[in-house]
Amino acid sequence: MKKQAGFTLIELIVVMVIIGILAAVAIPQFTNTERDAKDAVSRGICGALQTAAVLLYASNRTATSYNVVQGQVLTSGGATAGGGAVTYGGNCAAPTVIWTPTGGTAGSTISCAAIPAATCFP
């Protein structure tokens, strides 16, 4: 009689169960990727607000209004990732930013670090 080589049905089922368990553990790790990306863009815009306020102060030697500081922060109009819109809130002491990609939903409201009072006024 000839000996046959191969896997038994039980071995194949055990491998499938292990793959299923690994997939069940890995999938939740990727569910919040879109929200995390939007929040990362918002945090970058927070840094740009800080930088704009300091550069305006260096240029004008006087504090600038929060609205003017916001106007100096430019985001991509389509050059990368399809562009998007920024919604500003708060004031110099507690600025907030929400990023909404073009054709997408808004991300979380991100609280930025306070812009120094010497460089920005409400």
Spatial strand order of the sheet with 110-111 comes to 84-89, 96-101, 110-111
Domain boundaries, the chain: 34-116
The whole-chain average pLDDT of the chain stands at 87
Residue 101, beta-bridge partner list: 84
pLDDT tens, residue by residue, 55-76: 999 999 999 999 999 989 887 6
pTM over cut 0.75 = no
Closest by alpha carbon to 95, among 74, 117, 118, 77?
117
pLDDT tens, residue by residue, 33-52: 888 888 998 999 999 999 99
Q: Give the H/E segment covering residue 64.
A: strand 64-65
Structure tokens at 69: 């500081």
